[in-house]
């Protein structure tokens, strides 16, 4: 006797009844397959928003207890929440969205995850297969749209292949360089029946296997490491992605070599901020010592970073004299921006293990004598105190606000996310992270609106931890609707808003580069954040006074639910190294000038220095050091006289070409320098035209005087430091 079962299925858009034997009855719906596959993958949390094309999956979600669903208020927020969840746990984040606008709203989060190497799986609903291409309601070419912003994506047209594809999606998201994937599931595939395939039954041979380590190149790297006079370790987010073993090995390598270490924005926490070898973050908003060390090193060990433009500045001037080693799991990231001498492709942990073991076999040697001298230079750069700022007793400086937040929260089990802008950089500069996976921010894409939903994903994963989102008011408003999510799920996330009533980073660059024309960078209509909090039934705190800041922060910490902290800060602050550059604190009377005859090219050379600057190879480096520290140009002027004529009026020195870039930053053309020398001004006898347009030769008896502003162009112009009047003899 045959045992049969009546089963209903979708055919050509219509419900049909079939009689199936027991073998066929083992089939389950596509929607069930999705949920079963997620459980098989160990998924415990999904962030999403329902819609028509994904309703069968949501119906199955309703009928199970193993997966928690977090209902966000916007699909972009779902992807950022999944990113926060993934980065704080090391797991893969999962998102549900519907077709059309649901899927397109996820594109920003997918792109953000791709650039920052965050593993997430987005499962999107799609219109039925027979409607695809017909401009059906809420239809969009999801696979086509997301192809450039995912590691891989699939359109599933056969329910029998659904389980296999989902398992492969998780494998792709988490393997190699992690990243986002998308699985687009038409509605009829969700309704139709198919067999379930278990995770361990999937062939994953399509995943590219890690290449073997080039032992000859490894030995060459160790040769260079042992002899290095000015080494530095440059770590990135790839170290954290590689896992706890890689973190442990990195710290062992730093301890064993005593090399200084710096990090990218996404690499913070891979080495403890309290560690004695830590130079702070590098790059455009990094510390002076980190950038000077990168520029001046002779051996660079880059691990899990990609030499992006915020680190390199001008690539033709980036660390010009160093032997560069690049360890990365992604071959496409190697030699993409910066050409390196030693590419080592593979998992950071595996390569680290091989490198350290081989180095120890050879005696664990370093160039201790030269390394000691290198550390002296590094410590001298540290004395610049590039992150210092002038505090105020009247207004809250944003740097001070973050410093106090650090001091009052560092003893807690703390996770921090940020939005994007000035506040993000201040958080990176002034918050210290001792462990990885505690710092979540948008790096490569710079996504405003990232931080709030990310903090929700973090808090879901770590319900008993202190989760703080350091935000700017403009960026925070981009996903403010997630207040509803925080309230609904009783998530005690703290929104620490540095409110400067500006689009701070935009305003900053308009000030510096666009003649202070503040085109649409003012926030003219901001909400009352305290009342906004109250409207959602949560706590709002406003702080406008430095002397009340500590108590207000403590109140935020101790409140058991979500909080909006409206911290009003100085709107004029800019986010870069201290405005008091090297020369900004130098008195005019310490500037000395000498004149030297250089007979080789029949010219005179005016050089200058400041007290306390040591000479290198007989050439004083005072000015280049000062200008490099400034990250900008000095105002430079000169005047002259021929014979007994009085000195001319001060003229601006316009030197076209050349740059001074201790930070590898492009500097203004107002720097005085000879073409091949950055320490002074050449006066050539043979030039018949005087600077500024006058005529005549530089004859004996000609007088010359130079003055340099004691504040760089990134600061307010200050007093000029004048050389003595120099007479050519």
pLDDT tens digits, residue range 331-346? Answer: 999 999 999 999 999 9
pLDDT attached to residue 384:
87
**Nearest-angstrom CA–CA distance, 213 and 318:** 27
Beta-sheet pairing, 193-194 with 28-29? antiparallel
Sign of CA dihedral 708, 652, 649, 647: positive
Q: Residue 107: is its pLDDT beyond 90? A: yes
The whole-angstrom separation of Cα 511 and Cα 505 is 10
What 3-state class would DSSP assign to 99?
Answer: coil
Of 27, 187, 324, 703, the catalytic one is 187
Among candidate residues 18, 66, 68, 137, the one labeled active-site is 137
Q: Which residue has the higher pLDDT, 300 or 710?
A: 300
Collapsing DSSP to helix, strand or coil, 495 comes out as strand
Active site residue 494: no
State the pTM of this model.
0.79
Pick the catalytic residue: 24, 138, 481, 488?
138
pLDDT at 630: 30
**Region 87-98 average pLDDT:** 98
Q: Measured in Å, how far apart are the chain's first and last C-alpha atoms?
A: 120
Q: Is 189 in a helix, a strand, or coil?
A: helix
Asked whether residue 641 carries a pLDDT value surpassing 50, the answer given is yes
pLDDT the model gives residue 655:
36
Question: Minimal CA–CA distance to 228: which of 403, 374, 82?
Answer: 374
Higher pLDDT, 623 or 94: 94
Question: Tokens 């550059």, residue?
Answer: 581
pLDDT confidence tier of residue 611, bands split at 50, 70 and 90: very low
Active site residue 544: no
Query: Which phi and psi (to 5°) does residue 207 adopt?
Result: -70, 125
Taking residues 651-676, report their average pLDDT.
Answer: 31
CA-angle at 258, arms to 256 and 264, nearest 5°: 105
Phi, psi of 164, rounded to the nearest 5 degrees: -60, -45
Position 1 scores a pLDDT of: 42
- 388 token code pair: 């210092």
Residue 631 clears pLDDT 80, i.e. is over it: no
Position 470 scores a pLDDT of: 98
Mean of the per-residue pLDDT values of the chain: 83
Band the pLDDT of 421: cuts 50, 70, 90.
Answer: very high
Q: What are the φ and ψ backbone dihedral angles of 539, each rounded to 5 degrees?
A: -90, 135
Q: Is 434 a catalytic residue?
A: no
Residue 544 scores a pLDDT above 90: yes
Label residue 267 exposed, middle or buried (CB < 10 Å: 0-12, 13-18, 19+). buried
pLDDT of residue 689: 35
At residue 695 the predicted structure's pLDDT band, cuts being 50, 70 and 90, is very low
Annotated catalytic, 187?
yes
Closest CA to 178 of 82, 310, 270: 82
Query: How far apart (Å, rounded) are the C-alpha atoms in residues 622 and 463?
Result: 53
Whether residue 137 lies in the annotated active site: yes
pLDDT category at 704 given cuts 50, 70, 90 is low
Residue 709 is predicted with a pLDDT of 57
Predicted local distance difference test score (pLDDT) of residue 124: 98
Average pLDDT in the 697-726 region? 55
Which contacts (CB < 8 Å, 24+ apart) does range 145-150 have? 145/103, 145/104, 145/107, 146/103, 146/106, 146/107, 146/110, 146/122, 146/182, 149/107, 149/110, 149/111, 149/114, 149/180, 150/110, 150/114, 150/179, 150/180, 150/181, 150/182
Taking the C-alpha atoms of residue 262 and residue 663, their distance in angstroms, rounded to an integer, is: 14
In this prediction, residue 722 has a pLDDT band, given cuts at 50, 70 and 90, of low
Among 8-17, 154-163, 268-277, 410-419, name the one with the lowest average pLDDT.
Answer: 8-17
Kindly indicate the confidence band of residue 348, based on its pLDDT and cuts at 50, 70 and 90.
Answer: very high
Q: How far is Cα 131 from Cα 721, in angstroms, rounded to an integer?
A: 75
Interval 299-318: pLDDT, tens: 999 999 999 998 998 888 89
Please state, in angstroms and rounded to a whole number, the distance separating the CA atoms of residues 632 and 583. 12
- Which of 153-167, 375-389, 674-688: highest mean pLDDT? 153-167
Which tokens go with 222?
Answer: 């160790």
Centroid of chain to Cα 638: 41
Q: Is the model's pLDDT at 541 over the cut of 90?
A: yes
- Residue 512's pLDDT band (cuts 50, 70, 90): confident
Query: In this structure, what are the phi and psi dihedrals at residue 478, rounded to the nearest 5 degrees?
Result: -70, -25
Report d(CA 264, CA 443) in Å as an integer.
9
Question: Are 150 and 109 contacting, i.e. CB atoms less than 8 angstroms apart?
Answer: no
Answer for the pair 597, 527: CB distance below 8 angstroms, yes or no. Answer: no
pLDDT score of 105: 98
Task: At 203, list the tokens.
Answer: 């062939």
Query: Structure tokens of 598?
Result: 């250089």
The pLDDT assigned to 19 comes to 55
Residues 152-157, mean pLDDT to the nearest whole number: 98
Q: How many other CB atoms are found less than 10 A from the CB of residue 618? A: 5
Mean pLDDT of 7-26: 55
Q: Give the alpha-carbon dihedral of 615, 617, 618, 621, to 10 degrees.
A: -40
567/619: higher pLDDT = 567
Query: Does 509 have pLDDT greater than 70?
Result: yes
Round to whole Å and give the CA distance between 118 and 114: 6
Give the per-residue pLDDT at 701.
59
> Is the pLDDT higher at 486 or at 656?
486
Which tokens in the block code for residue 580?
A: 């008091």
Compare 705 and 172 and report the one with higher pLDDT. 172
- H and E: helices and strands count for the chain: 25, 32
Q: Are 662 and 669 in contact (CB under 8 A)?
A: no
CA quadruple 110, 112, 115, 120: dihedral positive or negative?
negative
pLDDT category at 365 given cuts 50, 70, 90 is very high
pLDDT level of residue 626 (50, 70, 90 thresholds): very low
Q: What's residue 607's pLDDT?
A: 42
Looking at residues 209-231, what average pLDDT do you find? 91
- Mean pLDDT across the stretch 373-391? 93
Give the residue-averaged pLDDT of 77-92: 98
The residue from 505, 637, 703, 705 that is catalytic is 505
The pairing of beta strand 726-727 with beta strand 703-712: antiparallel
């Amino acid at each position: 006797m045959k045992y049969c079962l009546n089963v209903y299925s979708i055919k050509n858009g219509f419900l049909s009844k079939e009689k199936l034997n027991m073998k066929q009855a083992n089939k389950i719906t596509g929607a069930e397959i999705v949920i079963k596959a997620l459980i098989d993958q160990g998924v415990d949390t999904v962030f999403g928003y329902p819609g028509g094309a994904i309703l069968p999956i949501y119906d199955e979600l309703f009928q199970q207890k193993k997966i928690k669903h977090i209902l966000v208020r916007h699909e972009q927020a779902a992807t950022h929440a999944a990113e926060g969840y993934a980065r704080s746990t090391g797991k893969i984040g999962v998102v549900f969205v519907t077709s059309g606008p649901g899927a397109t709203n996820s594109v920003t989060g997918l792109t953000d995850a791709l650039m920052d190497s965050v593993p997430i799986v987005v499962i999107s609903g799609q219109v039925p297969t027979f409607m695809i291409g017909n401009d059906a309601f809420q239809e969009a070419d999801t696979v086509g749209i997301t192809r450039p912003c995912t590691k891989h994506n699939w359109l599933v047209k056969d329910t029998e292949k659904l389980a296999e594809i989902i398992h492969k999606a998780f494998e792709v998201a988490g393997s190699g360089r992690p990243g986002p994937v998308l699985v687009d599931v038409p509605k009829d595939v969700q309704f139709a029946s198919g067999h379930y395939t278990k995770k361990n039954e999937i062939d994953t041979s399509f995943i590219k296997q890690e290449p073997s380590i080039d032992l000859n190149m490894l030995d060459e790297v160790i040769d260079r490491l042992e002899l290095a006079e000015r080494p530095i370790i440059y770590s990135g987010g790839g170290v954290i992605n590689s896992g706890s073993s890689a973190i442990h090995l990195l710290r062992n390598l730093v301890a064993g070599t005593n090399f200084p270490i710096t990090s990218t924005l996404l690499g913070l926490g891979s080495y403890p901020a309290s560690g004695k070898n830590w130079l702070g973050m590098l790059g455009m908003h990094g510390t002076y010592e980190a950038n000077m060390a990168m520029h001046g090193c002779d051996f660079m060990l880059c691990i899990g970073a990609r030499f992006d433009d915020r680190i390199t500045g001008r690539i033709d001037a980036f660390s010009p004299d160093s032997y560069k080693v690049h360890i990365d799991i992604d071959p496409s990231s190697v030699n993409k921006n910066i050409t390196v001498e030693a590419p080592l492709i593979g998992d950071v942990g595996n390569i680290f293990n091989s490198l350290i073991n081989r180095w120890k076999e050879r005696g664990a040697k370093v160039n201790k004598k030269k390394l000691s001298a290198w550390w002296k230079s590094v410590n001298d750069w540290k004395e610049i105190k590039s992150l210092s700022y002038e505090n105020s007793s009247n207004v809250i400086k944003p740097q001070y606000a973050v410093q106090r937040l650090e001091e009052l929260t560092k003893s807690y089990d703390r996770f921090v996310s940020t939005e994007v802008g000035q506040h993000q950089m201040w958080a990176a500069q002034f918050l210290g992270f001792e462990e990885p996976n505690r710092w979540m921010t948008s790096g490569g894409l710079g996504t405003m609106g990232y931080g709030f939903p990310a903090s929700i994903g973090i808090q879901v994963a770590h319900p008993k931890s202190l989760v703080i989102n350091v935000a700017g008011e403009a960026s925070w408003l981009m996903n403010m609707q997630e207040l509803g999510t925080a309230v609904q799920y009783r998530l005690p996330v703290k929104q620490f808003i540095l409110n400067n009533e500006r689009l701070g980073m935009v305003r900053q660059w308009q000030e510096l580069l666009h003649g202070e024309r503040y085109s649409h960078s003012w926030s003219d209509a901001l909400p009352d954040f305290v009342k906004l909090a109250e409207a959602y039934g949560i706590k709002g705190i406003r702080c406008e006074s430095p002397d009340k800041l500590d108590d207000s922060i403590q109140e935020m910490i101790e409140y058991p639910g979500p909080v909006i902290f409206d911290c009003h800060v100085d709107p004029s602050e800019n986010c870069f190294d201290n405005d008091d550059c090297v020369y900004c604190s130098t008195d005019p009377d310490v500037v000395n000038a000498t004149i030297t005859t250089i007979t080789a090219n029949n010219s005179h050379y005016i050089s200058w220095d400041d007290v306390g600057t040591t000479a290198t190879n007989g050439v004083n480096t005072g000015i280049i050091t000062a200008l490099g520290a400034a990250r900008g140009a000095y105002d430079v002027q000169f005047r002259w006289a021929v014979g007994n004529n009085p000195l001319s009026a001060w003229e601006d020195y316009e030197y076209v070409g050349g740059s001074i870039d201790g930070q590898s930053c492009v500097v203004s053309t107002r720097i005085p320098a000879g073409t091949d020398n950055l320490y002074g001004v050449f006066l050539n006898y043979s030039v018949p035209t005087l600077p500024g347009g006058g005529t005549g030769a530089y004859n004996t008896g000609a007088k010359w005087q130079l003055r340099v502003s004691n504040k760089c162009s990134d600061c307010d112009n200050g007093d000029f430091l004048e050389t003595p009047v120099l007479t050519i003899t």
